[in-house]
Amino acid sequence: MRSSVAVVDYGSSNLRSVAKALEYVADGQHEVIVSSDADVILNADRIVFPGQGAIGDCMRSLRAAGLVEVLQAGIGSRPFLGICLGLQSLMSTSEEDAGVECLDVFPGSVRRFRSDAGPNTDGTPRKIPHMGWNQVRWRRPHPLVAGIPSGTRFYFVHSYYVVPNDDALTMGETDYIDTFVSALASGTAFATQFHPEKSADAGLQLLKNFLCWAGQE
């Protein structure tokens, strides 16, 4: 019997690319369902929460769809993967949009990159958003990064980054303007600031690892 993977639909523009990448690595062994239905999401064996855009719009859409409590319940009860805004939304608050209350799954905040940083070492300006390929250093082993060496490059598009209160949650780090948390892991939850679905073979490997993951480190 195939396991089910719910991709949370709250209107984000990159849902389909995430779903297609999951379907590709699932190879017919898992059913990928894009849904905003609370029952479908809570009955799925795994949950993926992707997103891009502004956190204010994201949280308004989640509240309007009645998905805040659904996500809070699902994150601690089965394998969960958050991507980009799916990571940022797990914090308590965000500086974006003049301050936004997030899901508060993990105490912490979301901050904007400093605009007063100097140029890169080659003299080019450090632009915001941080966009393009960059290295991710793993803090520790984890089933989702099996077969992906520390220092592998992934694709990023973001102006904000997470600052969890508990540094032990940090799974991956990346350097841009400052060193920031690019992946977080705790219990059944794993979340990335980068986009696995846009990160070629390494990203597909991470998604494949997620589909095989039992939800334990």
Per-residue pLDDT reduced to its tens digit, 107-143: 999 999 998 777 777 777 788 999 999 999 999 999 9
Number of domains in the chain: 1
Distance CA 29, CA 58 (A): 30
116 in any annotated domain: yes
| Among candidate residues 77, 103, 97, 81, the one with its CA nearest the CA of residue 164 | 103
- Which pLDDT score, from 0 to 100, does residue 69 have? 95
Point out the residues that are catalytic.
84, 195, 197
41 in any annotated domain: yes
Contact present, 49 and 81 (Cβ < 8 Å): yes
- Which pLDDT score, from 0 to 100, does residue 36 have? 94
pLDDT greater at residue 15 or residue 142: 142
Angle between helices 200-212 and 15-26 (to 10 degrees): 70
217 in any annotated domain: no
| Range(s) of the domain holding residue 89 | 3-212
Q: Please tell me the pTM assigned to this model.
A: 0.95
H-run or E-run covering 16: helix 15-26
Q: How does residue 51 score in pLDDT terms, banded at 50, 70 and 90?
A: confident
Contact present, 47 and 74 (Cβ < 8 Å): yes
115 in any annotated domain: yes
Weakest-pLDDT range from 54-63, 69-78, 123-132, 192-201: 123-132
Three-state DSSP state, 97: helix
Average pLDDT over residues 162-182: 97
Q: How does residue 56 score in pLDDT terms, banded at 50, 70 and 90?
A: very high
The two structure tokens encoding residue 156: 């990023």
146 in any annotated domain: yes
Q: How does residue 4 score in pLDDT terms, banded at 50, 70 and 90?
A: very high
- Which pLDDT score, from 0 to 100, does residue 125 have? 74
Average pLDDT over residues 8-18: 86
Output the domain CATH number for residue 183: 3.40.50.880
Backbone phi, then psi, for 24, in 5-degree steps?
A: -65, -50
Average pLDDT over residues 54-63: 93
Contact present, 3 and 31 (Cβ < 8 Å): yes
| Among candidate residues 132, 74, 135, the one with its CA nearest the CA of residue 105 | 74
